[in-house]
Structure 1
Amino acid sequence: MAELLWHTFARDRAELDRQYEAPAYREASGLVYDDLEKGALALAEGLAGEPHPVVKARAFAFILANARLAVNPLDWFGFHFDVVKVVGKADIGWHVRMILGRLSGKWINELCQGSVQPYVSERARQGRDDGLFVMYPDYAHSSPNWDDLLALGLPGLLARTRHFRCEQTELTPAQTAFYDGIEISYEAMIGFAERLAAEVSLHAAGSAKMQRLADALRRLAVAAPVNTYEALVLAMFYWKLQENVEMARVRTLGDMGVLYNGFYQRDVASGAATREQIKELFKYFLNHFAAMHVLYQQPMYFGSMDAAGKVQITELSRLIFDAYDECGLYDPKLQVCIAEATPDAFIKRVLEAIRGGNSSISLINSENAIASLLKCGMSLEDARTFVMTGCWDYAVRNEAKTIPLRLNLPKVVELTLNNGVDPLTGHRLGPATGEAESLVSFEAFYVAFKRQLADITQYMMAIANCFEPFLHEFNPTSLYSATIAESLLRGVDAYAFGAKVCSTVFNVSCLATTVDSLAAVKKYVYDRSDISLPALAAALRQDWQGAEELRERIRADRDKYGSGSALADELMVDLTDYTTSLINNQPNGRGGFYKQGQISIDFNVKFGAKTGATPDGRRCGEPHSKNLSATVGMDRQGLTGLINSVTKMDMSNFNHAGMLDFIMHPSAVQGDDGLEIMLALVRTYFRKGGHSIQGNVFDARLLRDAQAHPDRYATLQVRVCGWNVYFVNLSRKEQDLFIAQAEHLEKMGAH
């Protein structure tokens, strides 16, 4: 019987989902991981003293020439290579070890003993260990120029590199090493495509699918892609190499409905493929990422604008979205950019998927993105053609963005109460701004808080400015840099000074917990004199022991973030205006500038675990508030009231990200009327200046049952942060947080 080429996805789905559990590497095809790692690191050691881009490129080429290979004949994209080692399972994916990570770590350690010593200073170490901040060299948010990659292909990018190299009148040693690194790497990639094609050909007898994959790989070794399938093979091939070998995470697959639209239109018009066949190809492509699922999901998006400001929702956008929804995927995760001109019909199709349980979708306000990028000094054309670069964040094209800094804002309140000393460890983490008894008015307390915040913020940026100029030495990015025309023109790594824009993100985390704490201090210490500041500080150090009645009154108080409180709203606006003045457009260490993010992702749990009790009634170690959302149970005017409060902030100042999370009860969004309610909510939030929004539709009963009977709910998705997980894979504490949110929602509905 002839092989069935099409209509095979549903039949093969279970096997496709398991293909990364134990790939069948052919023993004679290459070295096992440990031997491959030893060989690559030994090669690098033998090149000690050579420029880092060259050393890394030689090690990269060794890996591609010697990695073990496997082929899955069921998958249109079924090529595997043994370049990562699983070292543990997390709730949200696999922890892995990457070969060149050892090399990068060695270079970081060497540089930290010399030029970058402040990064490993005692204050920096204590700040990290005590949970005040997170800081690290970041390569996790790159956005390669997919347009150039798909238009030029591997040989075209190599030829373009050589052209720019020849255009240089006189090369410095650093530029020579930069171009050498790219040429070595791309020659290795082309050779690897040929090597993979030969391996796939071993499975091609009787398999038209494998024959086409082998043909596509051979063609990509010599030319740019000419059809949808070849373009997708190239994208998968490139993604795996930059993500898993170069170690610069690819934080977007691009606007899929635009990037591949030309290929799609030609294929359909010529009869080379039908719409249903293209749709099935995308199912295989997207599901392949879900099968890999290493640590965090891979982003992609729809709804970008062109330079004239026209929203680009194509026929292919709708086809890919249908494929995504029909598969029930949460990896890749999806962003949908929404402007006034975005068709309501497409937005409702997206909301229908969210309502149906596919909550791995974030909605991004295009108008806000443009306004925030203009504030960074970008041109209108660059602002309109922004690209998504991670969970919810955006950048202009050819921007090399890093996210090395995250601040635990509620801990700054804790330091203010304790004169800059962490009461949990005794370490001085902030400046001496006065003992509690000396802060005799709320104005004095708030000035001390702002001094703490300014000192810590400026210190964190100074440390980042110390290590960020060495990013290209820590981990040269030849693959990524070759896609960035400006980097090639300058002969400089994109993560150094090579990209069109080199930005650094400073994330300020857990806003609601901070605002609620400040409001409680003002109201209960200074306005009502229910407790003195020294007594409050002492009670917090004892985790509210002896002050339980006061804690309950504070928790029941209506002056909370997101509840329409004039006091909380005033503090919220003033505080975010102040962080904006401290962060936005400050010069970074790579010839660019800082951007502010007002998000926590899952650091609300991590930071909360290292923060003592806070004046809002939170106990020691409990999670902080998440992203721009209210503290669980404190948004007492529902989602509409929360929106009305948070949009008093100017979210165009959050020129990285500012996500609002929601939970809606299924009964509120049923039928056509429910879909209209969801559409009106999104439109209203964005017209009022909201940055982005995401959420879940479920009830507490369902979650309690899933907690009690996890075997019955293996595929129940919940939106955690910038990614989705299966509810049953969360810790008991994290499950309880979702249940508490759902119970609060039901109580609100009962009143």
Structure 2
Amino acid sequence: MKNQFIKTKMPMQSVSALTAMMLFAVLPVASMASPELEYLKGKWRTRPVDESQGETSRTLMKRIPALVRDWSGRHPWQVVKAKVFAYLCERSAIDVSELDWYPAFADWTFAPRTSSHRRTRSAGNPVWAMVAARKNDVLKGLDPEYHRLRKRGKGGRWNTYHDFDHSAPDWDAIIPLGFTGLAERLEANLKDTDYYRARQIAADGVMSLLRRFVETGERRLSALPAETPLKRKMRLRKQTESLRRLSSGAPQSAYDVLNFIYIFWCMSEQFEGIQVRSLGNLDRLVAPYYLADVAAGRTTEEEFREQLVHFWWQWGSIDNYYGQPLYFGGTKADGSSEYSDVSRIMLEVHDELALPTPKLHLKMGATTPDWVWRKSLDMIRRQSSISFIGEEPHKRVITAMGYTEEQARTFMLWGCYEWAIRDSANDIFGAVVNLVKPIEEMLNAAESGRFEAGDFESFKSEYFRRTSGMVSDAMQCVRKGEGCRGEINPSLLFSIATEYSVKTGLDAITDGTANGNHTGIWMVGLGSAVDALLGVEEIVFRNREMSLAELGALMAANWKGRHDLRLRMCRSPRKWGNNDPSANAVGAEIVKKVFVPVNGQPNGRRNGQFKVSGHVARWFLGMGQHTGATPDGRWKGDELSKNISPVMGADTEGATALISTVSSLDVRDLSGDFPLDVALLPGAVAGENGLMLLRTLIKTYFGNGGLVIQFNIANPETLRDAQRHPEKYENLQVRVCGWNVRWNDLPKAQQDAYIRRAENIMR
């Protein structure tokens, strides 16, 4: 079916294909006209919809709660949600502009950034507000044991929440079907149940929205002033034609594919409150369509580049704090690389725009072309938002879990840099566990005489017991609460897009995928925990400088009166990240004793299993704020280490020692993901030698089993100057965890941490 659509020749209306090519051939990316650029920058912030074409967010914020109250008394919840979705498709304000290649809708999008540097989703968004209210109602009715367990996690010990932020459709499967094909497949499987009634209502809503887009585009075309530049007329005409094709069949061009992905994403995120955490293997998905377009004379590279610029800017304007992921590359069944000329074009567009989002995951394998290495490594020297993904180490992890070689070859990348089987990307966050908190609690108990240990092995044994208990509580809480996910926010589009869900009538976000339904247990502060444990060993058991109770009192006093000792512990080389044998052994011991028993355990009603993850998102900041001072020299409230990386600034022995440290872990024990953050100075990676250094580091890391590696490349002088003169560094970005942020959006305390790490590299 896919090849049939690719080869279809689409007639131009009123203007010949040759004229269209001439129009766009004179429009390089860098010189995009300012009205277009201003429109794109403000699109998701200034609500550029035609208020005559539907209800705006101001009206909908009042209307939707009233409709929910009315419908809830007469319909089951998933039908109520579907009716809200359809109402938004049919009644919300939309627009189709000559300044943009993609339609405008969901005008409530994102409120201004808050003090936490995140845009709020529920403020002004009727769907997220509806889901939040529903969640509160559902959680009240859960087993009291769920609430008791949640209380045991408070105070920074562990946490959980109901995650609707991690799902993605199998783009390879649904693009050849298009919206109409998905609706037809649903209709062929209809049964007389609430699941199917709800999805049928949603599918009808999708088709209604597409028809409205076409009608709006046609109306806009007929109303364009005669003096409108021909290029803008052509853009609006092509957009309307694409929307018409999507309303009646599958995507037929590269532009149709981009439009399909964009519209699906917007409907899922904005009309039903379920995030789409991957735009797919975009270069590979688009390449055959683009090549067919060029061969048939339907487009030019220049036009395609502009469509990509506008596509990138949708998420540049939304500016989601965590970034919108997509990925490139991979390996074909015959062993050759999936990278292509389309990959090159997309990388160049990403480089030229220098936006923090979308963010790129690059699959790197044995046949990845040299030009991909050179281009991408040069980009990260300029802080581009890229993470490098090892294909071979992923294959080892995925097949070890029982998946096939083919599933391992075609694995999807999504979220910050997690992996999933392509038809089953619903593996969600379950709980996050603070590995440092038990040390704080043990020292507090020692101070009050409630705990003592005669030697370091005894101290560690108690640490493992307490930490394992926290993990057990978190898992049990997840089992008690996770099954209600579909009662809170049942997935509509994601279910329609998932063949297994459509055939079984199981909600795709809950348990409706054939090869997924897994739940992540995240560990926060591995490096901090290692360093703190070694601090206890050094101060109490090796040097015998004070008793365990006295150390507990000093930590409770936040190092008051012992600045000398704190500095000494900060500067100790016995830290995670320096390839210290003791640190390496303790880190491996934590993972083996606490987390290996977690992998593969059943996760409850979702009928999947738990997977341990080294990824922490922003929890290294939040958990750190609730953690007292620690014997490694850390102040109360300071951030913890993130991912499997060292404490910020503790790795003073260079990148080779850092990679050797994390290689002491077995990546199969952290099957969720295994991400490493590396900080380097610009001078170390300058020129050809710098490119070779980066390439060698990445290949060494992958060769030792690492899954994901990402970089911060900056010198402390630049960062300090950017702190003093932010107006000079509007485009400076840094890597936080699995995403980039602009330097100027970071709080000063976080900026200071990046400066400290850069300074330590210079020692």
What TM-score, normalized by structure 2, do the two folds share? 0.91
Alignment of 1:247-646 (within 5 A): 247-306=273-332, 310-358=336-384, 360-399=385-424, 400-419=426-445, 435-437=450-452, 439-500=453-514, 501-589=516-604, 590-646=606-662
**Structure 1 gap ranges (5+):** 424-433
* 393-402 vs 596-605, greater mean Cα deviation: 596-605
The residue type equivalent to 1:542 in the other structure is: A
The residue type equivalent to 1:416 in the other structure is: M
Q: Displacement, 1:189?
A: 0.7
Q: Displacement, 1:18?
A: 2.6
Structure 2 SS opposite 1:582: coil
Q: Which residue of 2 aligns with 1:217?
A: 243
The residue type equivalent to 2:695 in the other structure is: L
Structure 2 SS opposite 1:397: coil
Instruction: Give the one of 56, 61, 81 matched to 1:32.
Output: 56
1:70·1:81 contact (CA, 8 Å) conserved in 2? no
- Tell me how far apart the structure 2 counterparts of residues 735 and 556 of structure 1 sit (CA, whole Å): 20
- Tell me how far apart the structure 1 counterparts of residues 140 and 212 of structure 2 sit (CA, whole Å): 41
Q: Displacement, 1:5?
A: 4.8
- Tell me how far apart the structure 1 counterparts of residues 674 and 634 of structure 2 sit (CA, whole Å): 23
Q: Which residue of 2 aligns with 1:732?
A: 748
- Tell me how far apart the structure 2 counterparts of residues 344 and 119 of structure 1 sit (CA, whole Å): 52
Cα gap change, 1:252 to 1:323, in 2 (>3 Å)? same
Structure 2 SS opposite 1:391: coil
Q: Are 1:697 and 2:722 counterparts?
A: no
Q: Displacement, 1:93?
A: 4.8
Identity %: 30
- Tell me how far apart the structure 1 counterparts of residues 333 and 189 of structure 2 sit (CA, whole Å): 26
Q: Which residue of 1 aligns with 2:201?
A: 184
Kindly provide the CA deviation profile for residues 617-637 of structure 1, in whole angstroms up to 9, marking residues without a partner as x.
Answer: 111111111222211232121
Q: Which residue of 1 aligns with 2:6?
A: none
Q: Displacement, 1:353?
A: 0.8
2:532·2:632 contact (CA, 8 Å) conserved in 1? yes
- Tell me how far apart the structure 1 counterparts of residues 508 and 261 of structure 2 sit (CA, whole Å): 20
Q: Which residue of 2 aligns with 1:427?
A: none
1:100·1:246 contact (CA, 8 Å) conserved in 2? yes
- Tell me how far apart the structure 1 counterparts of residues 723 and 275 of structure 2 sit (CA, whole Å): 33
Q: Are 1:685 and 2:709 counterparts?
A: no
Cα gap change, 1:510 to 1:568, in 2 (>3 Å)? same
The residue type equivalent to 1:485 in the other structure is: E
1:88·1:96 contact (CA, 8 Å) conserved in 2? no
2:446·2:548 contact (CA, 8 Å) conserved in 1? no
Q: Which residue of 1 aligns with 2:43?
A: 19
Structure 2 SS opposite 1:43: helix
- Tell me how far apart the structure 2 counterparts of residues 271 and 723 of structure 1 sit (CA, whole Å): 38
Instruction: Give the one of 152, 169, 172 matched to 1:144.
Output: 169
2:95·2:213 contact (CA, 8 Å) conserved in 1? no
Structure 2 SS opposite 1:595: strand
2:283·2:342 contact (CA, 8 Å) conserved in 1? yes
Cα gap change, 1:298 to 1:90, in 2 (>3 Å)? farther
1:516·1:568 contact (CA, 8 Å) conserved in 2? yes
- Tell me how far apart the structure 1 counterparts of residues 203 and 739 of structure 2 sit (CA, whole Å): 32
Cα gap change, 1:436 to 1:577, in 2 (>3 Å)? same
- Tell me how far apart the structure 2 counterparts of residues 581 and 150 of structure 1 sit (CA, whole Å): 38
**Structure 2 gap ranges (5+):** 1-14
1:401·1:503 contact (CA, 8 Å) conserved in 2? yes
The residue type equivalent to 1:47 in the other structure is: W
Q: 4+ residue runs of structure 1 moved beyond 4 angstroms? A: 1-6, 90-93, 306-310
Cα gap change, 1:85 to 1:515, in 2 (>3 Å)? closer
Q: Are 1:120 and 2:134 counterparts?
A: no
* 228-237 vs 78-87, greater mean Cα deviation: 78-87
Structure 1 SS opposite 2:189: helix
Structure 1 SS opposite 2:519: strand
- Tell me how far apart the structure 1 counterparts of residues 673 and 217 of structure 2 sit (CA, whole Å): 42
Structure 2 SS opposite 1:76: coil
2:153·2:470 contact (CA, 8 Å) conserved in 1? no
Q: Displacement, 1:79?
A: 2.2
Q: Which residue of 1 aligns with 2:178?
A: 153
- Tell me how far apart the structure 2 counterparts of residues 73 and 322 of structure 1 sit (CA, whole Å): 25
- Tell me how far apart the structure 2 counterparts of residues 93 and 541 of structure 1 sit (CA, whole Å): 32
1:60·1:246 contact (CA, 8 Å) conserved in 2? yes
Q: Displacement, 1:463?
A: 0.7
Q: Are 1:44 and 2:60 counterparts?
A: no
Kindly provide the CA deviation profile for residues 602-643 of structure 1, in whole angstroms up to 9, marking residues without a partner as x.
Answer: 221211111100121111111111222211232121111111
1:297·1:723 contact (CA, 8 Å) conserved in 2? yes
Q: Which residue of 2 aligns with 1:430?
A: none
- Tell me how far apart the structure 2 counterparts of residues 88 and 392 of structure 1 sit (CA, whole Å): 24
Kindly provide the CA deviation profile for residues 672-715 of structure 1, in whole angstroms up to 9, marking residues without a partner as x.
Answer: 12111111111111111122111122211111111111111111
Structure 1 SS opposite 2:250: coil
The residue type equivalent to 1:729 in the other structure is: D
- Tell me how far apart the structure 2 counterparts of residues 71 and 309 of structure 1 sit (CA, whole Å): 43
- Tell me how far apart the structure 2 counterparts of residues 60 and 109 of structure 1 sit (CA, whole Å): 20
Kindly provide the CA deviation profile for residues 444-494 of structure 1, in whole angstroms up to 9, marking residues without a partner as x.
Answer: 211111111111101101111111111111101010011111111211101
Q: Displacement, 1:90?
A: 5.4
- Tell me how far apart the structure 1 counterparts of residues 164 and 143 of structure 2 sit (CA, whole Å): 18
Cα gap change, 1:239 to 1:116, in 2 (>3 Å)? farther
Cα gap change, 1:309 to 1:449, in 2 (>3 Å)? farther
1:242·1:250 contact (CA, 8 Å) conserved in 2? yes
- Tell me how far apart the structure 2 counterparts of residues 55 and 242 of structure 1 sit (CA, whole Å): 16
1:87·1:96 contact (CA, 8 Å) conserved in 2? no
Q: Displacement, 1:41?
A: 2.4
The residue type equivalent to 2:580 in the other structure is: S
The residue type equivalent to 1:315 in the other structure is: D
2:321·2:741 contact (CA, 8 Å) conserved in 1? no
Q: Displacement, 1:328?
A: 1.6
The residue type equivalent to 1:185 in the other structure is: A
Cα gap change, 1:309 to 1:572, in 2 (>3 Å)? farther
Structure 1 SS opposite 2:705: coil
2:518·2:603 contact (CA, 8 Å) conserved in 1? yes
1:307·1:382 contact (CA, 8 Å) conserved in 2? no
- Tell me how far apart the structure 1 counterparts of residues 688 and 136 of structure 2 sit (CA, whole Å): 59
Structure 2 SS opposite 1:492: coil
- Tell me how far apart the structure 2 counterparts of residues 306 and 483 of structure 1 sit (CA, whole Å): 24
Cα gap change, 1:654 to 1:476, in 2 (>3 Å)? same
Structure 1 SS opposite 2:95: strand
Kindly provide the CA deviation profile for residues 356-410 of structure 1, in whole angstroms up to 9, marking residues without a partner as x.
Answer: 332x100111222222222322222212211012111111112221113111111
1:507·1:596 contact (CA, 8 Å) conserved in 2? yes
- Tell me how far apart the structure 2 counterparts of residues 469 and 357 of structure 1 sit (CA, whole Å): 40
Q: Number of residues paired by the alignment?
A: 724
The residue type equivalent to 2:673 in the other structure is: A
Cα gap change, 1:308 to 1:413, in 2 (>3 Å)? farther
Instruction: Give the one of 669, 676, 680 matched to 2:685.
Output: 669
Kindly provide the CA deviation profile for residues 300-321 of structure 1, in whole angstroms up to 9, marking residues without a partner as x.
Answer: 0112344566542122112211
1:33·1:85 contact (CA, 8 Å) conserved in 2? no
Q: Are 1:75 and 2:135 counterparts?
A: no
- Tell me how far apart the structure 2 counterparts of residues 73 and 145 of structure 1 sit (CA, whole Å): 31
The residue type equivalent to 1:105 in the other structure is: A
Q: Are 1:99 and 2:126 counterparts?
A: yes
The residue type equivalent to 2:183 in the other structure is: L
